[in-house]
Amino acid sequence: MDFLARLRAEGQDRDEGQDPEAAFQTHRRRRRIRRLSVGAVAALALAGVTAWLVAAPGEPPADESYAAALDEQAWPDEWPATTSLPLRGSPARTWATESEELPLPAATSVGSIPKERVSEGLRRAGEFLVAANLDPEVLRGGWPAEAMDLLDPQQPDRAELTQHLREPGLPDADPTELFTRFDPAELTPARGGIRVRGRMSFEAGGNPGQLRIHADYTFVYALRRVAPHSEPGPAPGTEEVARVVVRRQLVLLYAASGSPGVTAGKLVPADYRRQLGNHDCGTVDGFVHPYFSKEAAAADLPWPRVDPYDDSKDIADGRPSCTVPSRT
């Protein structure tokens, strides 16, 4: 009786003498027709994208409604990522987010430096990496005050870095060699688009009470243009993000105890190297400048292609040379 009542409420057409079994068969046929119709539309959309993938995998199809009909996860790797899935196709999507603590090694005593002081040195090194590369204000172009405060004020490196931040330029004053900052008038990090992975080790330094810390971390950033100048994505209603891969190798000296000219508890950057994937290295103004897909396609990029995620080898010594990322 409930089924027959639903048929009457929905206004189903049937003859006065039609029995319940006939009504049930009629309803089932109608539902099957509806399912077939929906399936046919989806199949046509998928067929359109499949044909495009075979014919021209490097560009969106002429009828972009095909792309909109598919989940973004199914888009080809050649298409740029969007604000919906800023890390689509990137191996970094499973890495730690900026809200998670950097992985640090277990501390042990080193020479005359007790375990507790080694642990403090490792923690300070991790704080410096976060303050220089993950602090929201620094990423938006702000002054890296916390990172600078962790450096020894008695050492010339801090004064030199301060000068580089104030007056960036070639050939030797490029703050991006140590800090990750983006021009706030142009870019802002996309929500959920920051990841990090890396490792750290330590040993005794060259001076008594000194700890030498080796850090090798890779940071990935998905960035969007500042409103209202959004970058259209490859399908209607989407917004493109540009991804930057920043790998940093640092040697930080930590003073477990003070001495003339050395401040206890502070760091000294003895060596630092960086590799930027997807960056306009011809512009030195203190900011990282990524290419969006159209810009990259039109730019003259005569430099060697490298995999920015490959951390199996050390970054080359000396001033970093320009590279073109094979992927971001």
User: For residue range 236-280, what is the model confidence (pLDDT) as tens digits?
Assistant: 899 999 999 999 999 999 999 888 889 999 999 999 999 999 999
Higher pLDDT pick, 19 / 41: 19
Span of 34-38, 124-128, 296-300 with lowest mean pLDDT: 34-38
pTM here?
0.79
Q: What is the pLDDT of residues 166-216, one digit of tens each?
A: 999 877 889 999 999 999 999 999 999 999 999 999 999 989 999 999 999
Q: Can you tell me the distance from the alpha carbon of 162 to that of 168, in angstroms, rounded to the nearest whole number?
A: 10
- Average pLDDT of the chain to the nearest whole number: 83
**pLDDT tens digits, one per residue of 69-78:** 468 888 888 8
Sign of torsion over alpha carbons 230, 234, 238, 240: negative
Q: Using pLDDT thresholds of 50, 70 and 90, give the confidence band for residue 80.
A: very high
265: Cβ contacts below 8 Å, ≥ 6 apart: 120, 124, 254, 255
DSSP structure string for 151-198: B-TTSHHHHHHHHHHHS-BTTTB-GGGT-----TTTEEEEEEEEEEEE
| Band of pLDDT at residue 50, cut at 50, 70 and 90 | very low
Average pLDDT score over residue span 98-102: 90
Range with the lowest mean pLDDT among 12-16, 27-31, 198-202, 287-291? 12-16
Q: Is the pLDDT of residue 24 over 90?
A: no
* Average pLDDT rounded to a whole number, residues 282-292: 93
- pLDDT over 60 (residue 1): no
Residue 44 has pLDDT above 50, yes or no: no
Residue (of 1, 8, 7, 2) closest to 28 by Cα position: 7
Cis peptide before 228 (omega within 30 of 0): yes
